[in-house]
Chains A and B, each alone.
Chain A
């Protein structure tokens, strides 16, 4: 049973297209995230949602729009894709309560996006 699952795993698309990546977690966590990992393996947070409410919105182009229909799902929609959007996008989740386990983040397997 996959704890954090995201689809598609691989996506190749042309510049200018609009695409979505879906994410679901079955851990019962209240907080979900989208991270971007560039070619140098640097992981950077993009968005964070807590119980469907946007908590963190880092400086990303507004072509990126997260949507959380419920606390188990957080989808990422990208409009007008550009070459520089090529990266690996990771969905993640964490509990919200304070204490040790509240600080651990569980990642999905990643979605490899290539814009051509």
Chain B
């Protein structure tokens, strides 16, 4: 079993839809949770960053962490074609980016 599981998709939604992207994990030591967005032929870029359980909102994006269920989500409201990318969840224990573990990514396409 992988430490971090992510549905690879692909996921296609119409413009304006609410998108829900999810990851589950098995390592209870993970406390920092991130979402990266990767456009085609580009490197991953940090989108959202949360510490421990709870919600964090940034514009149209909301990151949610449920440590009791070992489950994290990224919600995209009013999705736009420019949101079409692969979204990777990532997480690591406290104090060290070196142990960052990635999910395999979910490919999202927002149709105009």
Contacts and interface: CB of A to CB of B under 8 A. Distances in A.
A41 B98 contact: no
A45 B43 contact: no
B104 A42 contact: yes
A68 interface: no
A99 B51 CA distance: 10
Given A48-B98, A56-B98, A103-B97, A40 B43 contact: no
Interface of A: 4, 31, 33, 40-45, 48, 55-56, 90, 92, 94, 98, 100, 102-110, 112
What's the dominant secondary structure at chain A's contact region?
Answer: strand
B32 interface: yes
Contacts of A43: 44, 88, 102, 105
B18 interface: no
Contacts of A98: 94-95
Interface residues of B, number: 26
Given A100-B49, A109-B42, A45 B100 contact: yes
A107 B97 contact: no
A107 B49 contact: no
A108 B104 CA distance: 18
Contacts of A105: 46, 97, 100
B98 A31 contact: yes
A63 to B, nearest CB: 23
Contacts of B96: 103
Most chain-A Cβ atoms within 10 A of its Cβ — which of B36, B42, B43, B51?
A: B43
